Amino acid sequence: MGTDKHVLYSAAVQSTDADLDFIERVYRNKRRKQAHRLREDFCGTALLSVDWVERRKGNEAWGIDLDLPTLAWGRKYYIDRMEKDAKKVHLMHKNVLTAKTPPIDIAIAFNFSYFIFKKREDLKKYFASAYKALASDGVLVMDIYGGTSAPTSCWEERVIRNALTPDGDKLPRFKYAWEHETFNAVTNELLTHIHFKYRGDPWMRRVFTYDWRLWSVPEVREILEEVGFASSDAFSHGWGADGESDHVYRKRTKIINEEGWVGYVAAYK
């Protein structure tokens, strides 16, 4: 399991506790109550849905994705091990544009997954479908990134330590690399890859590839307004004394365009 791409991805990319803390805070600050129903669009292995259900009694999640093998992996290694709570995670092999779920408190599209929609009208269809899925006081939350390095070719590496497999085994330290291979300034299309490497081994190249459009905060918020959302907010992290992210996401009316930043957009029905 140590070279399983989903295990490596989860260890290097996902921080479900931090994501869930954030969306709960946003919802509670806006609605003054606790959310219980979550819809995870483009859910992949649905780890975030699983952690949502396990976080609090009464929570329920719907995970939607078109990749059946990835959904099956998540069911085998995450959901089937939940025992009685497994029935509260509903995996759906459906298109996020047409999938039907009960009225949802929070819908999420994380890991920049909605960047798959390259045309404005297609992104608008997705936001409209998310709007329809939400309860009358529901909230849609997406992550987003930018910065001067975003529309360029680049290669960024990090060392991943102290990660565990779903079986609880410790993974050896490994490298994670995020690559922007090409960017087209005419269309804002961006081809990216994720690579992994254990010490002494060659790179596992292009383990994941994404063919996206790089969307900006104002573009996203304008389309959200067009499909009916009453308002939206942008959030980004601050910076520590070492020049690295402080991982504290605050509401912003202005984001300085540093070399690279990560944020969220929350839209309120």
Note the pLDDT tens digit of each residue in 245-257.
777 899 999 988 8
How high is the pLDDT of residue 3?
84
Q: Per CATH, which fold does 5-145+214-268 belong to?
A: Rossmann fold (3.40.50)
Note the pLDDT tens digit of each residue in 217-268.
999 999 999 999 999 999 998 877 776 777 789 999 998 888 888 999 999 9
Average pLDDT on 38-62 reads: 97
The residues near 181 (Cβ < 8 Å, ≥ 6 apart) are: 153, 191, 192, 193
Q: Which segments within 112-260 are labelled E, that is strand?
A: 134-146, 154-160, 174-184, 189-198, 204-213, 231-239, 245-252
Q: Residue 2: is its pLDDT beyond 70? A: no
How high is the pLDDT of residue 33?
97
| Distances from the Cα of 245 to the Cα of 154, 217, 236, angstroms | 19, 19, 10
Note the pLDDT tens digit of each residue in 70-90.
999 999 999 999 988 999 999
- Ordered by start, the domain boundaries in the chain are 5-145+214-268, 154-213
* Nearest-angstrom CA–CA distance, 238 and 252: 10
